[in-house]
């Protein structure tokens, strides 16, 4: 299977931004496009999602740290034994990719996670919950320096 490819992009007349984006017939954004898959492409009703990629030096160490946060390893990929790992961890519907590949992500990345059990997470990491108008949150750093702001709605 091939990933979707844009096969047409044309400006939309009368648009202040000049264009509109169309994916599978839905119009959004700033260019008119038709996205189609290659031969055999079938999304199977897949939900679209965003999955941040975090750079890690050692995937096994990172997975252990993320397990403390309630994530569990889903799968790992290596092109060959001994080459860098690319791992997915998930906590319910929340997913992160952890990559040992240089250039996949920048160190010191910030990801915001909204969780139901902020009190338990804060306790597990010994973090003090900060209160703001938009909610309660803590900030954590993984072993590789990636920042995770973990929050919940106001109590």
**Tens digits of residue pLDDT in 31-90:** 444 444 555 556 678 889 999 999 999 999 999 999 999 999 999 999 999 999 999 999
77 and 18 both lie in a single domain: no
**Same domain, yes or no: 28 and 59:** no
Rounded to whole angstroms, the Cα distance separating 147 from 1 reads 35
Domain of residue 116, CATH code: 3.10.180.10
Residues 59 and 17 in one domain: no
Higher pLDDT among residues 88 and 20, named by residue: 88
Could you tell me if 16 and 76 lie in one domain?
Answer: no
| Environment class of 99 (CB within 10 Å of its CB; exposed 0-12, middle 13-18, buried 19+) | buried
Asked if residue 42 is part of any domain, the answer here is no
In a domain, 44, yes or no: no
**Pseudo-torsion of CA 35, 37, 43, 49, nearest 10°?**
-50
> Are residues 137 and 62 located together in one domain of the fold?
yes
Q: Which of 14, 4, 12 is nearest to 31 (CA)?
A: 12
CB 87 within 8 A of CB 54: no
Q: Using alpha carbons only, give the angle 67, 70, 74 rounded to the nearest 5 degrees.
A: 65
Total H helices, total E strands in the chain: 2, 12
Asked whether residue 68 falls in the same domain as residue 21, the answer is no
Give how many domains the chain has, as a whole number: 2
Q: Are residues 100 and 143 both part of a single domain?
A: yes
What is the Cα–Cα distance from 117 to 128, expressed in whole angstroms? 14
The more confident residue out of 9 and 51 is 51
Has residue 149 got a pLDDT over 70? Answer: yes
Tell me the residue range of the domain where 14 lies.
Answer: 5-36
Q: Within this chain, do residues 108 and 32 fall inside the same structural domain, yes or no?
A: no
What pTM, to 2 d.p., does this model score?
0.71
Distance CA 97, CA 50 (A): 10
């Amino acid at each position: 299977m091939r990933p979707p490819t844009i096969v047409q992009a044309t400006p939309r007349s009368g648009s202040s931004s000049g264009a509109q984006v169309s994916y599978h017939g839905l119009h959004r954004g700033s260019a008119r496009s038709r996205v189609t898959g290659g031969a055999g492409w079938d999304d199977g009703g897949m939900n679209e999602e965003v999955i941040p990629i975090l750079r890690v030096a050692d995937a096994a160490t990172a997975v252990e740290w993320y397990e403390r946060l309630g994530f569990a390893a889903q799968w790992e990929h290596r092109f060959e034994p001994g080459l860098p790992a690319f791992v997915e961890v998930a906590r319910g519907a929340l997913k992160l990719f952890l990559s040992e590949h240089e250039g996949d992500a920048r160190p010191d990345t910030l990801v915001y996670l909204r969780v139901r059990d902020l009190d338990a997470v804060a306790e597990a990491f010994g973090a003090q919950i900060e209160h703001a108008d938009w909610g309660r949150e803590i900030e954590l750093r993984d072993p590789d320096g990636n920042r995770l702001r973990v929050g919940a709605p106001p109590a």
